[in-house]
Structure 1
Amino acid sequence: MDAQAQESFRQFVAGRSSALLKTAVLLSGGDQHAAEDLLQNALVKAAGRWQRIDEPEAYVRRILYRQQVSRWRLKWRRREVTVAELPEAAAAPDASGTAELRLVLRTALSRLTARQRTVLVLRYFEDLPEADVARLLGCSVGTVRSTTHRSLARLRALAPELASFGPDGNDQRPSRDFSPVEVRP
């Protein structure tokens, strides 16, 4: 890699690594160390091909997704076992409850399977359409839909208290009223 390409890579890492790390944390179920490893491996792979990459962020994100898919497909997982709970950090009071929401959501996401978590991150955090998620994960659109449905159902079962974080304390899911509507031009 020449000096100009090295500088370009350094600027990319400095500017985009925090956003990429957030995605990696979500993909790894909240495990900061696994997320850092995931991102580091993706950046190493991107560095080797840096001069041939047209869209660096899209390329690195694709590597992140594919590495996560490879991790969940491994038959033997080399995961560390967490033996102690983290102490609660003394933080300023949060009037909106967003800190509590993040903790509840993070705990619930960490209890999903890697596949379920990856599909939810791609669909709702990355806001990708089902067809793109299916293409990235190498499966059909129907598989993405069913996995999304099952993942959300499991998330609701694992953390029913998430429903209380709506504006008025009620579950804010849209109604399923499919009655015919007359449309006039």
Structure 2
Amino acid sequence: MSAWSSTLDALMRERAAALFGYAYVLTGDAHEAEDLLQEALVRTFRSSRRVANIDAAHAYVKRAISTAFIDRHRRATARPQRAGGDDGDYSLARASAAGPDPSVRVAAHLDLHAAILTLPPRERACVVLRYLDDLPVAGVASELGLAVGTVKRYLSDAVARLREVCADVDFDTPESIPVDAHARGGR
């Protein structure tokens, strides 16, 4: 068995659920998440890439999932769209996501998930990486290959939209930037 094949086997045994969960949070659909994960695995291992260990393979596949998700939506917007009722119409996700569950907490999670699904792909990827994967802004920028300022803008826009729908969700983060206040005109 080749090195990449054994790495792939170990990755799927140990981390398949986490990778699938990551894809599911981005897509909101189990079948799309499976397809996205499969596409990411093919992208990662198609060239017999030398991956040193499972952690590196996991990072490569997560990056490939993010990239494939954004690429799919970019291609979809360039193609003609079918009218209403389309499987890609996420405006219907909110109505179908809120079930007759008596738990307020579960309903709030479903509302948040439905709201996340309404975000544009890049904003959604930034929110998932920042708040669900708990990456710092610089980590999100590195993961998606974007500038830090761009990620901050996407996060700001996304959080503003999410707060409109889910006002009770706390998006405040402990991350802060130290600022040294100097008096103007010298020391």
The answer to whether TM tops 0.5 is: yes
Superposed CA deviations along residues 43-84 of structure 1, whole A, max 9, x for unmatched, are 122332456012110111111111123223324258881488
Q: Distance in 2 between matches of 1:151 and 1:128?
A: 16
Give 1:70-89 correspondences, 5 Å limit: 70-74=71-75, 75-76=77-78, 81-82=86-87, 86=96
CA shift digits 1:11-69 (9 cap, x unpaired)? 321221110111111222x1222211110111122332456012110111111111123
Deviation per residue, 1:79-111 (Å, 9 max, x gap): 8814886587676x64xx332122111111111
Deviations 1:130-177 (A, max 9, x none): 2222233333211111110110000111333xx1x7xxxxx7958xxx
Question: SS of 2:161's equivalent?
Answer: helix
Deviates more, 1:136-145 or 1:148-157: 136-145
Q: Flag the 1:63–1:114 CA change in 2: closer, same or farther, 3 A.
A: same
Match of 1:128 in 2: 135
Tell me the SS of whatever aligns to 2:8.
helix
Distance of aligned partners of 1:19 and 1:78 in 2 relative to their CA distance in 1, 3 Å threshold:
farther
Distance 1:173 1:67, change over 3 A: closer
* Aligned residues: CA RMSD: 3.0
**Quick one: higher RCO (CA 8 Å, sep 6+), 1 or 2?**
1
In the alignment, does 2:108 pair up with 1:101? yes
The amino acid across from 1:34 in the alignment is E
Distance 1:172 1:12, change over 3 A: closer
- Pair 124,99 (structure 1): closer, same or farther in 2 beyond 3 Å: same
Q: Name the SS of the counterpart of 2:78 in structure 1.
A: coil
Q: Which segments of 5 or more consecutive residues in structure 2 lack a partner in the other structure?
A: 174-187
How far apart, in 2, do the equivalents of 1:8 and 1:78 lie?
40
Verify: 1:115 aligned to 2:122, yes or no: yes
Q: Counterparts of 2:130 and 2:158 in 1: how far apart (Å)?
A: 11
Q: 1:86 & 1:129 partners in 2: Cα distance?
A: 32
Deviation at residue 4 of structure 1 after TM alignment: 6.0
Does residue 41 in structure 1 map to residue 46 in structure 2? no
Query: One-letter code of the match for 2:12?
Result: V
Equivalent-residue separation in structure 2 for 1:172 and 1:56 (angstroms): 30
Instruction: Provide closer, same or farther for how the CA distance between residues 11 and 138 of structure 1 changes in structure 2, counting only shifts above 3 A.
Output: closer
Percent identical pairs in the alignment equals: 33
Asked whether the 8 Å contact 1:72–1:115 carries over to 2, the reply is no
Instruction: In structure 1, list runs of 5 or more residues that go unmatched.
Output: 166-170, 175-185
Q: Is the contact between residue 9 and residue 50 of structure 1 (CA under 8 Å) also seen in structure 2?
A: no
Q: Could you tell me how far apart the structure 2 residues matched to 1:59 and 1:123 are?
A: 18
Alpha-carbon distance in 1 for matches of 2:48, 2:15:
15
Counterpart mapping for 1:8-23 below 5 A: 8-23=7-22
- Cα distance, 1:118 vs structure 2: 0.7
Closer/same/farther in 2, CA of residues 15 and 81 from structure 1, 3 Å limit: same
